[in-house]
Amino acid sequence: MRPEQHDREYVLGHSGQEQERLRLQASIVGGWTEGFFKAAGIDRGMSVLDLGCGLGDVSLLASEMVGPSGSVTGIDKDPAVIEKARERCHAQGHSAPIDLIHGDLMDYYSEHRHFDAVVGRYILLYQPDPVAAIQHVLKSVRSGGIVCFHEMDFANPIRGFPSDTLFAKSFVLVGETFARAGLRGDFGLHLTTTFMQAGLPWPQLKAEVPIGGEAGSYLYIWLIETLRSLLPRMESLGVTTAAELDLDTLAERIEAESTTFHAELFGPLQVGAWSRKVA
């Protein structure tokens, strides 16, 4: 069955709860994103284009990295999210000027400026044609400019200990939902081929692995809130039901099992890839 357009774009939905989950997620993965950006060479004074900027977390991060002499432009197709991102940036403050634009990245192009870098986090897996998306945005990047993306792999859970935990069984549901919606939950494993098909040099790669299992581990709330956002789609796709998940007690049950067995639990593999536009 051909997935619906909105399934391909954002299977997690656009609820207020999902916006809160995105803020939680940003607080968890932001350090890894920053590490990838630093390794890619993003530095003071640069102009950065942030694709799929959402609530503005990556734009704010890039702003701190490039400083007052730099600039950040974020683009997202959700007008409500863009407005909230603008409010956040105004309330929070930022080092570099941030311009947030409502629009589709495939429609964006400015012949009057070329960015020093284009970045994105968890954006390529939602593109109908990721190669075409990169090729298009490269038109807005100067020769020698940086292309850096942070994606992940949650379709191939890393085996923990014990291997058959409630956490592991619940984690599998995320990848299954994305797969049934026609999305690649393992996109982090396909960055090299995507970059090269887009005409970029072989990218440099770096990976990080979330791990926990102790009392109060961030893995519990991250997983539960992701499942909560996915629940409408999981039910419509026949993956599971609210009654089967019992999300109100799931975190407590996972934590109790993990601490009892001194578990080592792994979250989704985080992959950063970066290259430079050739002349």
pLDDT tens for residues 241-259? 999 999 999 999 999 999 9
Tokens of 116: 């020093």
Q: Considering its fold, how many domains does the chain have in total? A: 1
Q: What is the pLDDT of residue 172?
A: 98
Segment 77-98 shows an average pLDDT of 90
Q: Is 70 exceeded by the pLDDT of residue 68?
A: yes
Residue 11: CATH number of its domain: 3.40.50.150
Q: What is the pLDDT of residue 9?
A: 59
CA dist 15 and 31 (Å) reads 25
Q: Is 90 exceeded by the pLDDT of residue 164?
A: yes
Q: What is the pLDDT of residue 112?
A: 78
* Number of residues that make up the chain: 279
Residue 113 pLDDT level (bands cut at 50, 70, 90) = confident
Per-residue pLDDT tens over the stretch 200-216: 999 999 999 999 999 99
Q: What is the pLDDT of residue 279?
A: 81
Query: Which of 76-80, 202-206, 222-226, 264-268 is the least confident region?
Result: 76-80
Domain of residue 255 covers: 5-276
Segment 211-227 shows an average pLDDT of 98
| DSSP-derived secondary structure for 142-201 | EEEEEEEEEEEE-SSPPP-BSSS-HHHHHHHHHHHHHHHTT--TTGGGGHHHHHHHTTPP
Q: Is 70 exceeded by the pLDDT of residue 107?
A: yes
Segment 130-150 shows an average pLDDT of 97
Q: Is 50 exceeded by the pLDDT of residue 5?
A: no
Helices then strands, each counted (H, E), the chain: 10, 9
Q: What is the pLDDT of residue 92?
A: 86
Tokens of 49: 């284009």
Q: What is the pLDDT of residue 28?
A: 97
Per-residue pLDDT tens over the stretch 15-56: 999 999 999 999 999 999 999 999 999 999 999 999 999 999
Q: What is the pLDDT of residue 6?
A: 40
Residue 277 pLDDT level (bands cut at 50, 70, 90) = very high
Q: Is 70 exceeded by the pLDDT of residue 7?
A: no
Across-strand partners of 205? 273
Q: At what angle do helices 166-180 and 218-236 cross, to 10 degrees?
A: 40
Segment 181-187 shows an average pLDDT of 96
Q: What is the pLDDT of residue 2?
A: 32
